[in-house]
């Protein structure tokens, strides 16, 4: 009988750099983030101390794309995932090891006003403090709603073009247009 085990990490912290989105040769999205968490305590002498830990965060697939789009340096986020340790031999022959947190959930905890004002994407505003699964469903719903509007616009442009071609020398006033 195998013993039960658990590999789960939950962090709340601030991003130390902008997300870095890359793709594997097979086309899978991978996003790496730097996250800082702080801890403060009081010593026996009454002195307040603070310590900062830096974490390497990795997101895959749709979550990686969302992190790349919605996050920026300084944002406060909640992440949930698992620890993963990798070892390799560097070019100089030395053995290297790194531990990272592979996340499967991310929630933005601050408002976008705190970060760069240049980020005014409507999707980002709708995704504030929403788990990525719900955001992906909202994105799909927006796409479905957007398609009929795009078709209607194309039809209107075609009708307008045809009207111009067939009108010849007739004068058309804005009152003649039915929409």
Four-residue CA torsion sign, 99, 103, 106, 112: positive
> Average pLDDT by consecutive 10-residue portion of the chain (179 residues)?
87 94 93 94 92 94 93 93 92 92 92 55 45 49 44 48 51 60
pTM: 0.58
Asked whether 104 and 132 are in contact (CB, 8 A), the reply is no
Q: Which domains does the chain have, with CATH numbers?
A: 9-130 (2.40.50.140)
Query: What is the per-residue pLDDT for 173?
Result: 62
| CA angle 16–37–81, rounded 5-degree value | 90
**Ramachandran area for residue 10 (φ above 0: left; ψ -120 to 50: alpha; else beta):** beta
Query: What is the per-residue pLDDT for 2?
Result: 75
- Give how far Cα 163 sits from Cα of 72, 146, 150, 166, 179, Å: 48, 26, 20, 5, 13
């Amino acid at each position: 009988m195998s013993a039960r085990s658990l590999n789960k990490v939950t962090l709340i912290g601030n991003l130390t750099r902008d997300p870095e989105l890359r793709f594997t040769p097979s086309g899978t999205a991978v996003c790496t983030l730097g996250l800082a968490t702080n801890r403060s305590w009081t010593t026996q002498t009454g002195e307040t101390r603070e310590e900062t830990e830096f974490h390497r965060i990795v997101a895959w697939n749709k979550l990686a794309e969302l992190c790349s789009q919605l996050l920026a340096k300084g944002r406060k986020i909640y992440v949930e995932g698992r620890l993963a340790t990798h070892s390799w031999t560097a070019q100089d022959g030395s053995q290297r090891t790194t531990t990272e947190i592979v996340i499967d959930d991310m929630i933005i905890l601050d408002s976008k006003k705190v970060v760069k004002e240049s980020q005014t994407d409507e999707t980002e505003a709708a995704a504030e403090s929403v788990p990525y699964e719900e955001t992906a469903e909202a994105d799909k719903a927006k796409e479905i709603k957007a398609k009929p509007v795009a078709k209607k616009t194309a039809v209107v442009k075609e009708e307008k073009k045809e009207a111009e071609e067939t009108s010849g020398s007739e004068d058309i006033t804005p009152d003649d247009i039915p929409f």
